[in-house]
Structure 1
Amino acid sequence: MADVDVPTSHATIRHRPFEDAVALAVGALLVSLGVNLYNRAGLLTGGTAGLAFLIHYVFGWAFGPVYFAINAPFQYFAFRRMSRQFRIKTFCAMVLVSGFSMLHPRFIHYDRLDAFYAAALGSSVMATGFVVLFRHRASLGGVNIVALFLQEKHGIRAGKVQMSVDLSIVAASLFVVSPRVLAASLLGALALNLVVALNHRPGRYVGM
């Protein structure tokens, strides 16, 4: 199957390698900060990150390595369906998020963190990071790879695909968290995917 790429035009502005590198670092830093907020508040999210949180809460294993391991199988899909540039950038972003997620606790400490505040702020920060990564032809693996493929190949909005999966995973996590934490997690999932859906649409951003 041919690689999935966004059609270029004379108006398309290609990102330089330095711009892509900065975007990957900033996007991964923002996403990992949101993950840190979620982790400290005991929240859940969707996608492979949500599965990593479940394993982290149940078994006490570090989030970063678990997240990276869960995403590994999705790299096969990326290898078969997505462009080489996308695969490389996505792998780098995954490594950065895994690393940053272990770095934040060394520098950030919370005396008190409300679950709903953490959900609102954490989801907004993560969504911003996702948009930065998406606009530089990268993702964080897992459901993001499938969502971007469906958007570029079939015109199905990535935010809608992500939202459907996220809500399903969070709802299935009722046995792990309290109803209040689950409600905050659902709010965060809605906010995150709403921000992505409003700010990442086919044809709106032409940078490559």
Structure 2
Amino acid sequence: MEPEHSEQDRDGSEPSTVTLPHTPAEDVLGVLTGTFLASLGLYLLNTSQAVTGGTAGLSLLLSYAVAPPFAVLFVAVNLPFFALAVWKKGWLFTGKTVVAVLLVSGFSSVHQHVMPLDHLDPVYAVITGNLLAGVGLLILFRHGASLGGFNILALILQERAGLRAGYVQMGLDVAVVVAALAVVPVTNVALSAAGAVVLNIVLAFNHRPERYRA
């Protein structure tokens, strides 16, 4: 049996696209899955004293320099960006993002208690950590959420200026990684820079609104 076509299809033009939004249950599972993966990736980075970009990377960086743990700093650093999210993205997106940030903070503490790691190969930690964080972010983006901060700014610029979210965040991430030179060894910074590229490649290659409309 041949698939049905619209009149546009028969004329040779682009077929119409029908979007099917996620159900609330799918959004809940998506946010839980995305935050769990992202928090696990950040925990691996924290174990190896590496950083990444965004407010997550900034929070990791601060956790190496001051007393409060990452879980506390991550929430605190994101607070100013929630107002930006309400203004530009609306209450639904902001609500999901606040929940996602709190879940990442909570999951990070859980990982530390149930899976304590005394040593982890830095190269493995940086690659695996950023891959997990990138996939986690990708899931959150596709369910109308983010991890706050630079993610919000990157999504706004993608929608308003047509700039890829991954490329926008890559530029912002460079600033965070360079700032890490003041806190962690140069080798850690070099690995962190490579890891940030890995994370943003995951986003740039996979988060394209014209390809994904759910």
Answer yes or no: is 1:106 the counterpart of 2:113: yes
Rounded to whole Å, the distance in 2 between the matches of 1:196 and 1:171 is: 21
Shift of 1:190: 0.4
Amino acid aligned to 1:193: N
SS at match of 2:50: coil
Amino acid at match of 2:92: Q
- The TM-score, its normalising length taken from structure 1, stands at 0.92
Question: What is the CA distance between 1:138 and its match in structure 2?
Answer: 0.5
Tell me if the contact between 2:47 and 2:119 (Cα under 8 Å) persists in the aligned partners.
no
The answer for unaligned runs of 5 or more in structure 2 is 1-15
Pair 1:81-2:88 in alignment? yes
Contact conserved, 1:32 with 1:98, CA < 8 A, in 2?
Answer: yes
Give the length in aligned residue pairs: 199
Deviates more, 1:109-118 or 1:138-147: 109-118
Pairwise CA distance, 1:83? 2.3
1:52 aligns with 2:59: yes
- C-alpha deviations, 1:60-101, integer Å up to 9, x for none? 311111110110000110111112221111111111011111
Q: In structure 1, what is the Cα distance between the partners aligned to 2:35 and 2:91?
A: 20
Deviations 1:83-138 (A, max 9, x none): 22211111111110111111101111224311111110000000000000000111
The separation in 1 between residues aligned to 2:156 and 2:74, in whole angstroms, is: 21
Counterpart mapping for 1:1-208 below 5 A: 11-207=18-214
- Taking structure 2 as the reference length, the TM-score comes to 0.90
Matches of 1:193 and 1:67, distance apart in 2: 19
**SS state at 1:82 partner:** helix
C-alpha separation in 2, matches of 1:102 and 1:79: 27
SS in 1 for 2:146: coil
Higher radius of gyration, 1 or 2: 2
2:181 aligned counterpart, secondary structure: coil
Listed one character per residue, the Cα deviations across residues 151-192 of structure 1 (whole Å, up to 9, x for unaligned) are 112211000010001112101211211111111101110000
More RCO (CA 8 Å, sep 6+): 1
Tell me how far apart the structure 1 counterparts of residues 193 and 123 of structure 2 sit (CA, whole Å): 10
The unaligned stretches of length 5 or more in structure 1 are 1-8
Query: For the residues of structure 2 that align with 1:42 and 1:94, how far apart are their CA atoms?
Result: 21
Moved more, 175-184 or 140-149: 175-184
Query: What is the identity percentage for the equivalent residue pairs of Structure 1 and Structure 2?
Result: 45
SS of the residue 2:180 aligns to? coil
Instruction: Tell me the equivalent position of 1:5.
Output: none
**How large is the Cα RMSD of the aligned pairs?**
1.2
Segment of structure 1 superposing worse, 146-155 or 9-18 = 9-18
Contact 2:37 2:133 in 1 (8 A): yes
In structure 2, the CA distance between the partners of 1:83 and 1:10, relative to structure 1 (3 Å rule), is farther
Counterpart amino acid of residue 85 in structure 1: L
